[in-house]
Structure 1
Amino acid sequence: MVHMGSTRRNDERTVAGCHRRMRRTDREVVDPGMVERIIRDCRIVDVAYADAEGMTIIPMNFGYVIRPDGLPTLYFHSASHGRKIDAIRAAGNALPVAVSMRTDCRPIEGRTPCGWGEAFRSVVATGTASIVEAMEERREGLRLLMAHQADMPDVTFTDQQVNSVTVWRIDLDHVTGKVHE
């Protein structure tokens, strides 16, 4: 469900510690089920974070689960060493991140070059990245990744396979969906 009513919130201002609401209310997705459908249809999530080297953003394949509180947890796998894993460890296994994902992107022709636009469905969120230590959660994270990316929900992993990668996750704490048709 896309939010209806007035189409603009032009009076919103940034307040420290608060999340500004979306300005285009006519494109805002407020239904958690619709947000989950957007996530389901996305294959790549861009993960942004800051570390000792500065800001960076990385595209990642992911799996996900909706937690009992209605918010998503995203699962990933990677090598045991590298910038993102180092950043999570340096942050005490609680790295603040921002994520963005989109699907159904296509241009919308305008009458003039500045009048063109883009149709899309997207999710933007913030959360905390952490390395998963428990073997069963690591195994489940890999299963969720294969279910989402390869439509293979029943893949099983040996302990050796699970131990050959680092499984990490992002617990999202603020999620915004947007649709422009």
Structure 2
Amino acid sequence: MRRSKQEITDSTEIQNIISRARTARLGINREGAPYVLPMNFGFADNTFYFHCADSGLKLDLLQADPRVCIEIDESSELQTGEVSNPCKWGVNYRSVIAIGTAEILTDIDLKRTALKIIISQFAGNNAPEMPEASIKATTVFRVKSENLTAKHSS
């Protein structure tokens, strides 16, 4: 990281950024060009979990090249400093970037666990069980973080 003073190394702080997020941006390779999608997700044990339909462009691209980049951020207030000079303005933020390889889950128990993790990102541990038919009909994939970095600007 170029600005090492902005790097967040505390794993608890990184986990807090991820746990507060509701959307992750998933970067996929689309024939040599980036393709970025906002997605709901879950996170546990250094692994991101996502779900999608059982067909479509996203799944086709992941099957062709499973290497992905994930971005999560949280922004706060605009810092205007010198109000008359916008070049001196900034925004306080914290962000997480993860690099990994997407793996489509086929085992029903792994899918069930992954979907619980995704649901708990929104509902905590109070979410009802998913019907078995819904689990079977949902495509689920995970991305184990091979490289996870975080930074802040304040």
Instruction: Mark yes or no: TM-score above 0.5.
Output: yes
Q: Which has the higher helix share?
A: 2
Task: State the secondary structure of the residue aligned to 1:138.
Answer: helix
2:27 and 2:59 map into 1 onto residues whose CA distance is 13
Range with bigger deviation, 53-62 or 168-177: 53-62
- Code of the aligned partner of 1:41: R
1:103 to 34, 50, 74: 74
- Give me the CA root mean square deviation: 1.6
Task: State the secondary structure of the residue aligned to 2:4.
Answer: coil
Trace 1:42-121 onto structure 2 (pairs within 5 A): 42-52=21-31, 54-66=33-45, 72-91=46-65, 95-111=66-82, 112-121=85-94
Q: Which runs of 5+ in 1 are unaligned?
A: 1-21, 67-71
Q: Which of structures 1 and 2 has the larger relative contact order (alpha carbons within 8 angstroms, sep 6+)? A: 2
Q: Equivalent residue for 1:36?
A: 15
Q: Equivalent residue for 1:149?
A: 122
Post-superposition offset of 1:151: 2.9
1:153 and 1:132 map into 2 onto residues whose CA distance is 24
Q: Which runs of 5+ in 2 are unaligned?
A: none
2:126 and 2:21 map into 1 onto residues whose CA distance is 17
Contact kept, 8 Å, 2:75 with 2:91, in 1: the verdict is: no
1:77 and 1:88 map into 2 onto residues whose CA distance is 12
Task: State the secondary structure of the residue aligned to 2:72.
Answer: strand
Contact kept, 8 Å, 1:138 with 1:167, in 2: the verdict is: yes
Name segments (4+ residues, structure 1) moved above 4 Å: none
Contact kept, 8 Å, 2:49 with 2:142, in 1: the verdict is: yes
Post-superposition offset of 1:150: 2.9
Post-superposition offset of 1:154: 4.1
Normalising by structure 2, report the TM-score: 0.91
Alignment size in residue pairs? 152
- Code of the aligned partner of 1:122: S
Q: Which has the higher strand share?
A: 2
